Amino acid sequence: MQKSEKIIIIFLLMCIVIVNIFIFLIYKMDKNLKKDIDDKIVYVTKRGKTAYEVYQNDRIIEIFDNYEDALEYAKKYENSSIKKSGDYKWVWDSNPPYEVYQGYNLLKKFVDYKEALEYAKKYENSTIFFRESNTFIWDSQTVIKNSYQIQNVPFIGQYPELFRGCEVTSLAMLLNYKGINVNKMELAEKIKKEPFIFTLENNVYNGNPHQGFVGDIYSRENEGYGVYNEPIHQLFKEYVGGNALNLTGASFNDLYYYINKNSPVWVIINTRFKPLPEQEFDYLNTTRGNVKMTYREHSVLITGYDSQYIYYNDPMYPGITQKQPKNDFIKAWEQMGKQAITYVP
């Protein structure tokens, strides 16, 4: 071997070592930052105050115990935003994603889709522009039919591989209908995870379904619960980018707009598809406060509606379109926090 070749090999090996060290240091810093943030949230909430979480590019960077300090800090960064810990709703954003227009005139910008829609409905000839998809996602001129059924939405069953995987399986049906070839197991692997139970500063906490899938998604042998709209929305964005729409908080009637545009709607509901008595609910004790839960939590993909029923694909019963009485279904959905996700038509 030539001397010059040995030098090149040694140089390459040194580069590999340096890169690995750099990756390790980034991982270590990221892990320490997450622990520091969690410790701060626990400290603030223990004092009975509301924690305000500052994000940059959807990544949490700091915690404050009052909105004014959080806002002052967030304004130092581009693409920054603020949400209340435990509320999971943006209260400020440096670049509000929703713009309401009347004709060609910009009326107002909003962080929240629900608020943008409520505002837009007050005006004739109004539209909502969504910056992330660079397109208009709603207009007041669209006529909503009294009944509509989306055809040929694929059926995918969650069993036997995913005992608690209704949320990612329903998401797989939505993605497959949009023409994206992905299976439920890939989504189950990618969804953010939270432990079912863990200890922090000598206190015992549960994982948070607003942050990731809580517990074991695969087997009933281990403890587990499920996941709510935020982690599903983030995962959905990995495949459809800015076309992912989180409709959480809007009224059920507002979902019909997208169904009429052939966009099925992913939702969180319960396995009985009707309102549950309060004794069916409990709370997960998370670092961001108590999160309401029920072990009857479920997820399906809505494909249609008429005057009496809501039609949907159920990952527990694949192969045939299911239906439930409209009023019961809507009330059960509202009870679970009005969680809904679809894509830009």
pLDDT tens, 248-260? 999 999 999 999 9
189 close to 238: Cβ distance less than 8 angstroms: no
Q: Which residue has the higher pLDDT, 30 or 253?
A: 253
Strand-by-strand arrangement of the 126-130 sheet: 105-110, 98-102, 126-130, 135-139
Query: Is there a single domain that holds both residue 17 and residue 72?
Result: yes
The answer to whether position 257 is within a domain reads yes
Query: Is there a single domain that holds both residue 62 and residue 203?
Result: no
Report the CATH number at residue 292: 3.90.70.10
Instruction: Kindly report the pTM of this predicted structure.
Output: 0.82
**What is the separation of C-alpha 244 from the centre of its chain, rounded to a whole number of angstroms?**
10
- Find where tokens 């299976």 sit: 183
Of the candidates 29, 33, 35, 32, the one whose C-alpha atom is nearest the C-alpha of residue 199 is: 35
* Helix H or strand E segment including 56: strand 52-56
Query: Is there a single domain that holds both residue 215 and residue 335?
Result: yes
- 342: confidence class by pLDDT, cuts 50, 70, 90: very high
CA–CA distance, 205 with 84 (Å, rounded to integer): 19
CA–CA distance, 166 with 188 (Å, rounded to integer): 10
- Residue 251 — φ and ψ, nearest 5°? -75, 160
Strand-pair category, 193-194 with 213-214: parallel
Query: Residue type at 296?
Result: R
Per-residue model confidence (pLDDT) at position 169: 98
Per-residue model confidence (pLDDT) at position 59: 84
Strand partners, 129: 99, 136
When pLDDT is averaged across residues 46-54 and rounded to a whole number, the result is 83
Query: Is there a single domain that holds both residue 155 and residue 135?
Result: no
CA–CA distance, 213 with 299 (Å, rounded to integer): 13
When pLDDT is averaged across residues 159-176 and rounded to a whole number, the result is 98
Lowest-pLDDT range of 29-33, 40-44, 106-110, 174-178: 29-33
What one-character DSSP code corresponds to residue 163? Answer: T
When pLDDT is averaged across residues 315-329 and rounded to a whole number, the result is 97
Return the SS3 of 215: strand
CA separation, residue 212 to residues 16, 175, 190, 228, 314 (Å): 33, 19, 10, 8, 22
CA–CA distance, 94 with 80 (Å, rounded to integer): 6
Torsion of CA 329, 330, 332, 334, to 10 degrees: 160
236's CB contacts (< 8 A; 6+ apart) are: 171, 174, 175, 244, 341, 343
Of the candidates 196, 167, 165, 192, the one whose C-alpha atom is nearest the C-alpha of residue 286 is: 196
Query: Is there a single domain that holds both residue 309 and residue 230?
Result: yes
pLDDT one-digit tens code per residue, 271-306: 999 999 999 999 999 998 999 999 999 999 999 999
The answer to whether position 288 is within a domain reads yes
Task: Report the domain count for the chain.
Answer: 3
Query: Is there a single domain that holds both residue 78 and residue 32?
Result: yes
- 28: confidence class by pLDDT, cuts 50, 70, 90: very low
Domain that holds residue 103: 98-139
Lowest-pLDDT range of 21-25, 96-100, 177-181: 21-25
Query: Is there a single domain that holds both residue 291 and residue 331?
Result: yes
Query: Is there a single domain that holds both residue 194 and residue 316?
Result: yes
Domain boundary among 87, 107, 122: 87
When pLDDT is averaged across residues 103-116 and rounded to a whole number, the result is 94
115 close to 128: Cβ distance less than 8 angstroms: no
The answer to whether position 280 is within a domain reads yes
- 21: confidence class by pLDDT, cuts 50, 70, 90: low
Ranked by mean pLDDT, the top range of 57-66, 67-76, 153-162 is 153-162
CA–CA distance, 17 with 64 (Å, rounded to integer): 38
The answer to whether position 17 is within a domain reads yes
Query: Is there a single domain that holds both residue 116 and residue 167?
Result: no
Q: Is residue 216 predicted with pLDDT exceeding 80? A: yes
The answer to whether position 92 is within a domain reads no
CA triple 204-208-214, angle to 5 deg: 95
CA–CA distance, 205 with 333 (Å, rounded to integer): 27
254 close to 117: Cβ distance less than 8 angstroms: yes
CA–CA distance, 201 with 218 (Å, rounded to integer): 29
Query: Is there a single domain that holds both residue 255 and residue 168?
Result: yes
Query: Is there a single domain that holds both residue 270 and residue 327?
Result: yes
Query: Is there a single domain that holds both residue 103 and residue 175?
Result: no
Helix axes 229-240, 166-177, angle to 10 degrees: 30
Of the candidates 31, 36, 42, 34, the one whose C-alpha atom is nearest the C-alpha of residue 86 is: 42
- Find where tokens 């679970």 sit: 336
CA triple 277-278-284, angle to 5 deg: 130
